[in-house]
């Protein structure tokens, strides 16, 4: 394609409302254009990128045995009433009333519609498993749409739904989809992680999120660079220290801490490492008991993990009044030594393995050091993993150390089990001629969000750096002086024709613009390879090549340029 035939509209400055890098760059590069709050037009250049994502997603879904269909965007309320989600889904659902006053929504997801299809189409175990997907525009009425297509209201999603005759079957299907998702993000050239996740509002058992790693991500992830391990920090296990607890070496002693109410300040005052300190968190468990949790001074409490400890459940933090009543001491100087016997002590695994540690003395302005389990206080009632992992922790799979990073969720797969099939009477006849609800899974990819996430992961001060799989064009041929120099025009047209003939997706920049403008545009829109044809080098029988991702400009003999470009693409 030629720039004279492709509408390119770049901006020097992004609109001030754009906060995220990807949002700014997509607007500046003219990939998208805002129509309204959370509503974006995909301009020709942006649509080319979106379609590349779609094509890879489609190909991997087909390879995984899923079949593409296309359900209506507008869905009748009656189906959502069968599962109760008409009322439960909340204001993100865009509700619509038609001319006959019947209720519909602009589908935010399609579990109800596909289950309605399955319950009439699939009757026998012989028809299972079945897996249907679509690539379609969805609408979620976000209260505060922002970040461009990263959190738009109308967006393109690939949603797949599987139906199996057994839980074992579902797990096989789920595994195939997990692999297909990995293939998609690998082919897109993105750094990503599949992480175990809570299944949240969609419901069911077991789910994984797929995150593109990028600093702008809303989620904090723990992963192991040496293995496949990855998890949302909320769910990543902190292993118990492998070394046994050291024997006591210090005597118990008071430490005056007149103003030191945090472990950090106490450690500073004492000139010791913060990892020698322990903090106490007082809370009221779901069953009403007063409980204390002990965490090493430099660690943070993981509320999800704590809530899973027997009897804790939906706990709350104790109030200042409750703390003063139990300890007769203000917060900031609390410790587990000498407390009432009815207070349950939950020690994090790390704390349980410590010796000679520092805690509050349960007296104002005082801490105690040289504290040891068994000698100075009873062993903890419960030892559990209740902290967030930190960088350097051993990976739970035993294959290295954990690192932390931020991720953008671009995919989510769920084992729904029978949540929808049972509610909607989506039954099949099994081999024993009995009816059972189908075992369902659902599998989403944020197709339009991927484009933004990819940019968050790949950009520099000059603009987007698209991976080859996502780039709107593989190669830009910039013809400097196309409208002034016969030689440039002839060489550019010839190279363009040869690259097209070789099946290369090439953009010939034949605009009558200054070279700086053309270079800046090709860099901003992120085309991976650039060949420049200008009179000066052409006089020496050469053209210039540079890769968008970096590296020096190289001069290439004109006659070898096409072969050279093909090598770069290979």
For residue 52, the tally of other CB atoms under 10 A from its CB is: 21
Residue whose CB is less far from a copy of itself, 76 or 331: 76
- Rounded Cα distance between 82 and 425, Å, is 9
Rounded to the nearest whole angstrom, what is the least distance from the CB of residue 156 to a copy of itself in the complex? Answer: 8
Q: Minimal distance in Å, beta carbon 212 to a copy of itself?
A: 22
CA 255, CA 266: separation in Å to the nearest integer? Answer: 9
* Residue 533 · residue 477 · CB < 8 Å: yes
Nearer to a copy of itself, 169 or 534 (CB): 169
> What is the rounded CA–CA span in Å between residue 513 and residue 481?
8
In the bound state with a copy of itself, the residue whose beta carbon lies nearer, of 39 and 255, is 39
Question: Between vectors from CA 199 to CA 193 and to CA 205, what angle results, nearest 5°?
Answer: 110
- Least distance between a copy of itself and beta carbon 94 (Å): 6
**For 144-285, where are the E strands, in sequence order?**
154-164, 192-196, 207-213, 219-223, 230-232, 253-256, 278-284
> What's the closest the beta carbon of residue 436 comes to a copy of itself, in angstroms?
20
Kindly tell me which of 75 and 372 has the beta carbon lying closer to a copy of itself: 75
Least distance (Å) from a copy of itself to the CB of residue 429?
A: 16
CA dist list (Å): 438 to 30, 38, 132, 207, 257:
46, 36, 14, 18, 63
Min separation Cβ 52 and a copy of itself, Å: 13
Nearer to a copy of itself, 26 or 561 (CB): 26
Which residues form the interface with a copy of itself (CB under 8 A)? 5-7, 9, 33, 35-36, 39-44, 46-47, 50, 65, 67-76, 91, 94, 96, 98-99, 104, 106, 113, 116-117, 120-121, 130, 132, 137, 139, 141, 143, 153-154
**Closest separation in Å from C-beta 521 to a copy of itself:** 15
Contact in structure between 464 and 525 (CB atoms under 8 Å): yes
What CA–CA distance (Å, rounded) separates 366 from 328? 13
Question: Nearest distance from residue 288's CB to a copy of itself, in Å?
Answer: 38
Q: The tokens 């189908």 sit on which residue?
A: 438
Phi, psi of 414 (to 5 degrees): -130, 140
- Between the CA of residue 347 and those of 10, 117, 295, 312, what are the distances in Å? 57, 51, 7, 13
Q: Which is nearer to a copy of itself, 119 or 530 (CB)?
A: 119
C-beta closer to a copy of itself: residue 116 or 544: 116
Distance in Å, CB of 443 to a copy of itself, minimum: 17
Q: How far is CA 302 from CA 235, 281, 387, in A?
A: 9, 12, 5
Which C-beta is closer to a copy of itself: that of 143 or that of 539? 143
Q: Which of 287, 286, 320 is nearest to 303 (CA)?
A: 286
Q: Considering beta carbons, is residue 6 or 240 the nearer one to a copy of itself?
A: 6
Shortest reach from residue 235's CB to a copy of itself, in Å? 31
Contact (CB, 8 A) for 95 and 105: yes
Cα–Cα distance measured from residue 143 to residue 368, given in angstroms and rounded to the nearest whole number: 50
* Closest by Cα among 548, 538, 551, 567 to 479: 538
- Nearer Cβ to a copy of itself (6/270): 6
The answer to whether residues 185 and 193 touch, using CB atoms and an 8 Å cutoff, is no
Residues 6 or more apart whose Cβ sits within 8 Å of residue 486: none
């Amino acid at each position: 394609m030629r720039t004279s035939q492709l509408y390119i509209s770049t901006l020097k400055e992004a609109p001030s409302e754009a906060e995220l890098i990807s949002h700014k760059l997509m607007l500046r590069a003219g990939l998208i254009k805002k129509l309204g709050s959370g509503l974006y037009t995909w301009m020709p250049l942006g649509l080319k990128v979106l379609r590349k994502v779609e094509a890879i997603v489609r190909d991997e879904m087909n390879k995984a045995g899923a079949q593409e269909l296309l359900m209506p965007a507008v869905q009748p309320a009656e189906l959502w009433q069968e599962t109760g989600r008409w009322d439960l889904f909340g204001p993100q659902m865009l509700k619509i009333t038609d001319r006959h006053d019947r209720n519909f929504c602009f589908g935010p997801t399609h579990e109800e519609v596909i289950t309605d299809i399955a319950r009439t189409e699939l009757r026998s175990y012989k028809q299972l498993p079945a897996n249907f997907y679509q690539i379609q525009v969805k609408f979620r009425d976000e209260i505060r749409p922002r970040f461009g297509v990263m959190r738009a209201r109308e967006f393109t999603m690939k949603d797949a739904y599987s139906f199996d005759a057994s839980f074992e079957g579902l797990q096989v299907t789920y595994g195939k989809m997990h692999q297909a998702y990995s293939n998609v993000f690998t082919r897109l050239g993105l750094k990503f992680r599949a992480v175990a996740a809570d299944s949240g509002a969609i419901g069911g058992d077991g789910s994984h999120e797929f995150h593109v790693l990028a600093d702008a991500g809303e989620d904090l992830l723990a992963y192991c660079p040496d293995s496949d391990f990855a998890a949302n920090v909320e769910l990543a296990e902190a292993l118990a220290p492998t070394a046994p607890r050291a024997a006591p070496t210090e005597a118990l002693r008071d430490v005056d801490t007149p103003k030191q109410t945090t472990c950090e300040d106490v450690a500073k005052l004492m000139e010791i490492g913060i990892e020698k300190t322990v903090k106490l968190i007082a809370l009221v468990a779901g069953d009403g008991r007063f409980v204390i949790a002990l965490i090493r001074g430099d660690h943070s409490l993981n509320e999800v993990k704590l809530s899973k400890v027997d009897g804790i459940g939906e706990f709350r933090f104790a109030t200042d009044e409750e703390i003063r009543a139990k300890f007769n001491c203000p917060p900031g100087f609390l410790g587990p030594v000498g407390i009432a016997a009815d207070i349950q002590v939950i020690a994090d695994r790390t704390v349980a393995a410590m010796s000679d540690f520092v805690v509050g003395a349960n007296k104002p302005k005082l801490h105690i050091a040289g504290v040891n389990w068994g000698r100075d206080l009873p062993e903890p009632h419960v030892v559990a993993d209740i902290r967030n992992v930190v960088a350097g922790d051993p990976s739970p799979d035993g294959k290295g150390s954990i690192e932390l990073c931020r991720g953008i969720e671009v995919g989510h797969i769920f084992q729904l089990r029978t949540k929808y099939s049972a509610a909607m009477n989506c039954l099949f006849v099994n081999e024993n001629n009995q009816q059972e609800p189908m075992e369902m899974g659902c599998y989403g990819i944020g197709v339009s969000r991927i484009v933004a996430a990819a940019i968050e992961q790949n950009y520099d001060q000059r603009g987007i750096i698209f991976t080859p799989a996502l780039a709107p064009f593989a190669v830009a041929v910039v013809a400097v002086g196309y409208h002034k120099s016969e030689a440039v025009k002839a060489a550019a047209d010839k190279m363009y024709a040869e690259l097209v003939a070789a099946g290369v997706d090439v953009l010939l920049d034949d605009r009558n613009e200054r070279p700086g403008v053309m270079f800046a545009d090709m860099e901003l829109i992120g085309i991976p390879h650039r060949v420049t044809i200008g009179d000066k080098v052409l006089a020496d029988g050469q053209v210039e090549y540079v890769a968008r991702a970096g590296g020096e400009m190289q001069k290439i003999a004109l006659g070898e340029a096409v072969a050279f470009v093909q090598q770069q693409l290979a």
